[in-house]
Structure 1
């Protein structure tokens, strides 16, 4: 099963789509998301949503008739630019996917021709900094070459240590 991953860089920021992971269930998807998308860049939270539960809609698209049901919360993501990533832009309440698509178009498009994704909020799994210790950069010390010419290796060690210190500062560990 494919899970789309959304990353929040700083608390209060919108979640931005950052690719996907393959996992059999939500818990594994959250773990894989942390490993693949939460270790290199500053991250405060990740969302995962099953790709099959994300509905795509764009201005001018025909929307199937309303399907009814109980009103639920939906999260909406707007594409940044043609071919770009989708960024969280808000929530709405709707009784089904068709109504959610129409409400998203009415609420979040204006003159913006880019596509929208809508997903029922209950399908989104969240991982926060309270759950895991996100990285910020990867420790590259395993790559240090053992050589007679120590200057390049020393420069790489110094650069990596600086990156680690900066990442720890951003995470508030220093």
Structure 2
């Protein structure tokens, strides 16, 4: 199963789509997303959502959703402003089904410019925060040192890696 991953760089910043992970369930998706998307860049939290539950919205799209139960729920909305940009969380809407959520998202978060919007029920979003894991894991590259005959570039990379690791630990308050 494919899970879309959204990363929040700082507490006051929006969640931005950063890629996806393959995982059998939400808990594994959360773990894989930490390893794959929460390691190198500053990360406050991650959201994961099943790709099949993320609905794309376009101005000429007319679809029906079979996942309708008639209860109004919250839907997270992600907007891509420019082609090639990542989808960024821009708010939420309340709706009974995906079609209604798409229309509400278009009304609240669309404008005259055509943008790509995604909607996903909030209940399908799994969150990983600093309370659950430590972001900014190891950047240790010392394993590369013994794999080369030309030791100067490898030694420089190991030295840079060690300073990155110290800086990451300092930011996490471990030093």
State TM-score, norm by structure 1. 0.89
Q: 2:28 maps to what in 1?
A: 28
Once the two structures are superposed, residues 85-140 of structure 1 have per-residue CA deviations (whole angstroms, 9 ceiling, x without a partner) of 11101011111111100000000011331110000000000111110111256211
What is the aligned-residue RMSD (CA, Å)? 2.3
Instruction: Give the ranges of 4+ consecutive aligned residues of structure 1 lying more than 6 Å apart after TM superposition.
Output: 146-149
Deviation at 1:151, TM superposition (A): 4.2
Deviation at 1:70, TM superposition (A): 0.9
User: Which of 141-150 and 76-85 deviates more?
Assistant: 141-150
Q: What CA distance in whole angstroms lies between the structure 2 residues aligned with 1:100 and 1:56?
A: 11
User: Which of 32-41 and 116-125 deviates more?
Assistant: 32-41
2:126 aligned with 1:164: no
Q: What CA distance in whole angstroms lies between the structure 2 residues aligned with 1:147 and 1:54?
A: 45
Q: What SS does the corresponding residue of 2:103 show, helix, strand or coil? A: helix
Q: Structure 1 regions of 5+ residues with no counterpart?
A: none
Q: 1:60 maps to what in 2?
A: 60
Q: What CA distance in whole angstroms lies between the structure 1 residues aligned with 2:170 and 2:94?
A: 39
Write the mapping of 1:12-161 to structure 2, written as runs, cut at 5 A. Answer: 12-64=12-64, 69-135=70-136, 138-145=139-146, 151-161=152-162
State TM-score, norm by structure 2. 0.88
Q: What SS does the corresponding residue of 1:145 show, helix, strand or coil? A: helix
2:145·2:151 contact (CA, 8 Å) conserved in 1? no
